[in-house]
Amino acid sequence: MSVTPEIYLDNAATTRPWPAAIASVDAMLADGYGNASSLHRRGAAAARAVGKAEGVLAALVGGGAWKVLFTSGGTESDVTAVLGTVPRGKRDALVTTTVEHAAIAEAGRRLGAAGARCVEIGAGPSGVVDPAAVAEAVDDRTALVSVTHVANEMGTVQPVAEIAARVKAKAPRCRVHVDAVQAAAQCARLEYPLAVDMVSLSAHKIHGPQGVGALLLRPDVSIRPLLAGGDQHGGLRPGTLNAPGIAGFAAAAGAIACRRSAAVPAMAALADRLSLGLCGAASGVRPLGAKEARAPGIVVIAVAAVRPEVLLHALETRGVLASSGAACHSRRREPPRCLRDAGLRAGEGSIRFSLSYDTTAEEVEGAVAAFAAVVEAVRAGHAGDV
């Protein structure tokens, strides 16, 4: 019996753990199982591994001085940045954008329900927010500006350095948080300026284990803890540190940092081929968002006259695994606002293909061939025959 080879193009949802990350997790589980807060030698060894990981993550975002809070992932990091900062005294406003991860949007809604203010700046058809519009929305009530570097569902790169500079020029006391969960693998280089106060990261987006992330803070940045129950991280994030996960996170981060300058341009070239191939495979297929702002490894297309979940299932029968957007909202019926703002029309479905450094030209060609083979059958209502 023949087995259809798998073509995994859902790396924005999660990535395949690399061997170095798996080996680091295994080693910590097998022989490094001490509690990093314990005072005996096993605890000290685990604490050293955590300290080493902190340095690797700081280097991943360009170096400099950072405090590192390890979390359960990007969602917790984002929510901690928002709810740990807003409100702050009389400053009770959050300024963010419509292309953020749901964690930021939901935290903003909670703030609004509690009487605070949340201002969302739209990205429009390009999928890129205007830094001037973000700065214009900041006033003396703004405690935090939160913006993603690479939009997870729109697949566009946001001008975070310019946003941070404009915000600080207008409101020096306002904090700036950047969600770099996708950017850590999608950008050939990360080097956040001092105007950026906090950065969110997640291990499983960079070929590390699931269930571990980090919120990096500048040394002078303080936040309120969202949990209670221990002195870990100085009480800012109580709970036993996930030392095996943190070790795997560090291994993946180190490998990403070594590979990305060469791997990202190659990945971008394959994404270009994929986008051209998909759009040429059938009528009524077009890319969403500004081409010049597209993340190197993320292709988001609009497909006329299909239900995205049906097309995705048909692609899976050909071995191609992709998504219609964020895995956090995979059962959502309506497309997110950012895709509608980018021009997604009624009757169109959106499909997101996301590559990794390991994606091959043969896989891209296979994905295009599979798409061409199933899209008309799906439109004709014969998805079960593909």
Considering only residues 159 and 235, tell me which one the structure prediction assigns the higher pLDDT.
159
Per the CB < 8 A criterion, the answer to whether 323 and 190 are in contact is no
Residue 365 three-state SS: helix
Closest CA to 27 of 46, 44, 53: 46
Confidence (pLDDT) at 324: 87
Residues 108-121: what's their mean pLDDT?
95
C-alpha 340/C-alpha 325 separation (Å) is: 13
> What does the alpha-carbon distance between residue 364 and residue 353 come to, in Å, rounded to a whole number?
10
Query: What's the pLDDT at 149?
Result: 98
Sequence-distant (6+) residues with CB within 8 A of 356 are 8, 11, 15, 16, 185, 207, 267, 297
Arithmetic mean of pLDDT, 168-195: 97
Q: Give the pLDDT band (50/70/90) at residue 380.
A: confident
- As a whole number, mean pLDDT of residues 3-28 equals 96
pLDDT, residue 327, reads: 58
Average pLDDT over residues 95-116: 95
Mean pLDDT of 157-176: 97
The stretch 179-196 carries a mean pLDDT of 96
In this prediction, residue 329 carries a pLDDT of 60
Does pLDDT of 231 surpass 90?
A: no
Question: Nearest to residue 237, comparing CAs of 216, 207, 210?
Answer: 216
Strands 285-287 and 298-304: antiparallel
Q: Which pair of structure tokens corresponds to residue 280?
A: 């040429």
Count other Cβ atoms within 10 Å, centred on residue 361.
12
Short-list 355, 256, 295, 288, CA closest to 152: 295
- Of 218, 179, 254, 192, the closest CA to residue 20 belongs to 254
What is the spatial distance between Cα 377 and Cα 384, in angstroms, rounded to a whole number? Answer: 9
CB contact at 8 A, 127 and 342: yes
- How far apart CA 299 and CA 342 sit, in angstroms, is 14
3 has a pLDDT exceeding 80:
no
Length of the chain: 386
Residues 379, 383, 386: CA angle, nearest 5 degrees: 120
Residues of the chain with pLDDT > 90: what percent?
Answer: 88
Residues 209/21, Cβ–Cβ less than 8 Å? yes
Q: Which burial class, exposed, middle or buried, applies to 102 when counting CB atoms under 10 A from its CB (0-12, 13-18, 19+)?
A: middle
**Contact status, residue 28 vs residue 49, Cβ threshold 8 Å:** yes
At residue 310, the pLDDT reads 94
322 has a pLDDT exceeding 80:
yes
Q: Give the pLDDT confidence score for residue 336 in this predicted structure.
A: 84
Confidence bin at 270 (pLDDT 50/70/90) = very high
Confidence of residue 181 (pLDDT cuts 50, 70, 90): very high
When pLDDT is averaged across residues 222-232 and rounded to a whole number, the result is 91
Determine the number of helices (DSSP H) and then strands (DSSP E) in the chain. 11, 12
Output the pTM of the full model.
Answer: 0.95
> Taking 70 as the threshold, does the pLDDT of residue 59 lie above it?
yes
For residue 329, the tally of other CB atoms under 10 A from its CB is 14
Residue positions annotated with a catalytic role: 328
How confident is the model at residue 228, as a pLDDT?
A: 87
Cβ–Cβ under 8 Å, residues 232 and 201: no
340: CB partners within 8 A, 6+ apart: none
Residue 13 amino acid letter: A
Least confident of 82-91, 95-104, 292-301, 377-386: 377-386
**Average pLDDT taken over every residue of the chain:** 94
pLDDT band at 335 (very low <50, low <70, confident <90, very high): confident
Q: Which of residues 332 and 322 earns the better pLDDT score?
A: 322
Task: Answer yes or no: is pLDDT of 1 > 70.
Answer: no
What sign does the CA torsion over 85, 87, 89, 93 have? positive
Q: Tell how strand 320-321 and strand 7-8 pair up.
A: parallel
Identify the pLDDT of residue 81: 98
Alpha-carbon gap, residue 291 to 272, rounded angstroms: 10
